[in-house]
Structure 1
Amino acid sequence: MTITRRSLVVLACTATWCASSAYAQTSSKYPTKPVKFIVPFAPGGGTDAMARHIAQKLNEKHGYTLVIENKAGVGGNLGAEAALREPADGYTFLVISSSYAVNAVLNKPSFDPLTGIEPVIQFTREPVVLAVGASTPYTTVAELVAAAKNTPDKVAFGSSGNGGLSHLAAEYFNALSGIKITHVPYKGTGAALMDLAGGQIQMLMAGNTSFMPLAKAGKVRVLAVGAPQRLPTLPNVPTFAEAGLPQFRADIWHGLVAAKGTPPEIVAKMNADINAVLQSPEVQTRLRQDDVTPAGGPPQPFAETIRSDIERWRTVVKQSNIKID
């Protein structure tokens, strides 16, 4: 049989039509059974709350039956490894937060944190802020840095735990400021917040929403926010750039990934459906009330966020010689 140019064109068009037809059929039928979101942390935390909120809206807007499964341990790696061992059929997803990038550096997961996943979508981003106790005399970042240089034994910073995001963010701030102050690790941000308000530690870095109740009560003082612009809820608090540290950048974010090899049409559908959720007025209003920014968009920018965070924290860990047990 002679293969002509015309027959090749027909064959190519047929293949393209078949691929697009398969794409349409798969995406239109999906999901045909419950979809599972694995949250690698205990119930009740920020990542769990975000996952449940997105799941509820997917159920309401798009008819999903979504199941949340919590698998805590090893800083999030236990749940991540469990999720990525599941079949890459689009029925199991992993909800991750910015600590995913920290764990990639410190806890060395059994999978490649960049090439072993299919990024789906970033849900949100929230700036990391620096706060001091209201009983301290510091009203600016410059005053805090000067005190840390002159009397380093009188300034200590707390964190949610050794090797956590709040620990690394503070070490990043210390390195950029040229200071070295004592680290006091806690078992969670809540305990560190109480000691910050009580005067046992002088500085803490965490997400903006963690500080708002105590800031409104006058028990802590926020000195800088890690966002490009000032926050609507803290209009008098400068950004780190305004405070003299334009290099500082740290966000708390949440998002969704899948196992490598998950069908691209399912990734595309999940991305589109969650984008619709994030763009709804109800969700936008609820998040922005807490100065949390809905992210959304295609998968690739989220992949770049993960990559850049891993690079940043790898540098901080190396410079500060951070080790965990």
Structure 2
Amino acid sequence: MSDAMWHTRRLLGRTALVTGLIFITGSAFAQAPFPNRPIRLVSGFAPGGATDVVARLIAQSLSDALGQSVVVDNKPGAAGNIAADFVARQPADGHTLYLANATLAMPSMFPKITFDVKKDLVPVSMIASGPSVLAVNPKLPVRSVRELVAYAQQNPGKLDFGSGGIGNITHMSMELFNYLAKVDIKHVPYKGGAPSTTAAVAGEVQVLMAAAAGTMAHIKAGTLVPLGVSGRTRAQALPDVPTIAEAGVAGYEATSWYGVVTAAGTPKAVVDRIDQAIRAGIKRPEVREKMLSQGMDPMEMGSEEFGRFLQTEIDKWAKIIARADIRAE
């Protein structure tokens, strides 16, 4: 055998070996089990709030179901958009998740948003929803939704409503009420649900839209009068209070919700496994009890159904945001 032929065969052998190693290594990576390292569950809000409470509940059950530690990472700011943008830019492997709330469905409210909700994120699983309560100060002479609508129409510009802040779900829920009921109750934003509730009790504003959990004590004490709940069905905590839709505002539905999304491009098998783990956690009695105590209704909604729901929410809120000309920085 000539030196040239020997060198050629040697080179071909090395090439085959390297090619084989690349194939084996690539296959190993492609087939790496999920999860193969700790999972990060990102919350877009500060510790202690409702979103953070849900994140920590789900983190523990996810960890138990998947056999990996799940760390809650709080990245507050810009109504959760900082956290959502961070997750959208992570590898699409399911190891970084975002605990989203209803604000994710309001991208048109944020002119400086740096990600595309529909292109950069994929829905994984809906976890819970929670209605708000439409209530009034007892000194206001109305005791039903129809009476409130009539009073607002007869006294234009004389009613104010308090919310947890500009762009907050309670703000948007009341703007939807204004739109569907054809009234103009003026918005007074507060720095959170508790201050807005206190203001309504004190009479600083006559009308309040607030989370059910934060109003229960005042409703029982008679310092707030509930007129309706914002969800599709009556709240378990307030079974005698009608929904706003059944009380006279046809088509009304607005709830705060919580769900997990991750980076677009994550394999469907990984998305499905995370969804199954979340569903298993929601079925735990202690998790359900904690959610109910926070005024939330546990839900089970997989990726495709959650995606359709999210699109419906985006379309609904875009109309309200445009009508009310709401812009948040």
The TM-score with structure 2 as length reference comes to: 0.85
CA distance in 2, matches of 1:213, 1:22: 57
Asked if 1 retains the 8 angstrom alpha-carbon contact of 2:125 and 2:301, the reply is yes
- 1:211-263 CA-partner distances (Å, limit 9, x unpaired): 22322232212101123332332122111222111211101100100101112
Alignment RMSD: 2.1
Aligned partner of 2:119: which letter? Answer: T
Note the 1:64-79 alignment, pairs <5 A: 64-79=68-83
What is the letter of the counterpart of residue 108 of structure 2?
V
Aligned to 2:109: 106
Query: 1:63 maps to what in 2?
Result: 67
What is the rounded CA distance, in whole Å, between the counterparts of 2:277 and 2:30 in structure 1? 15
Q: Pick from 148, 153, 164: which aligns with 1:144?
A: 148
Pick closer, same or farther for the CA change 1:43–1:206 going to 2, 3 Å.
Answer: same
Equivalent-residue separation in structure 1 for 2:303 and 2:281 (angstroms) = 16
Structure 2 residue 318 is matched with structure 1 residue 314: yes
Question: How big is the shift at 1:289?
Answer: 4.8
Offset of residue 184 of structure 1: 0.7
On the 8 A contact 2:110/2:327 being kept in 1, the answer is: no
Instruction: Give the match for residue 11 of structure 2.
Output: none
The alignment status of 1:48 with 2:52, answered yes or no, reads yes
Q: Which has the larger radius of gyration?
A: 2
Gaps of 5+ in 1: 1-20
Aligned to 2:122: 118
Shift of 1:146: 1.7
Once the two structures are superposed, the pairs formed by residues 160-239 of structure 1 within 5 Å of their partners are 160-239=164-243
When structure 1 is superposed on structure 2, of 232-241 and 306-315 the one drifting more is: 232-241
The share of aligned pairs that are identical, in percent, is 36
Q: Is the 8 A contact 1:123 1:256 kept in 2?
A: yes
Displacement after TM superposition at 1:285 (Å) = 3.6
Aligned partner of 1:159 among 146, 160, 163: 163
- Name the CA distance, whole Å, in 1 between partners of 2:73 and 2:214: 24
Q: Is the 8 A contact 2:213 2:294 kept in 1?
A: yes
Change (3 A) 1:112 1:24: closer
Task: Return 216-225 or 56-65, whichever deviates more.
Answer: 56-65
Structure 2: 5+ residue stretches without partners = 1-26
- Which residue, out of 94, 101, 110, partners 2:98? 94
| TM-score, structure 1 normalization | 0.86
- The one-character-per-residue Cα deviations of 1:127-186 (angstroms, maximum 9, x if unpaired) are 232111233222111221122122234310111112222112111101111111221111
Name the SS of the counterpart of 1:204 in structure 2.
strand
Provide the secondary structure at the position in 2 that maps to 1:51.
helix
> Aligned partners of 1:214, 1:64: CA distance in 2, in Å?
42
Q: 1:264 aligns with which of 261, 268, 272?
A: 268
Of the three residues 83, 86, 94, the one matched with 1:82 is 86
Task: Work out the CA distance in 1 between the residues paired with 2:35 and 2:311.
Answer: 30
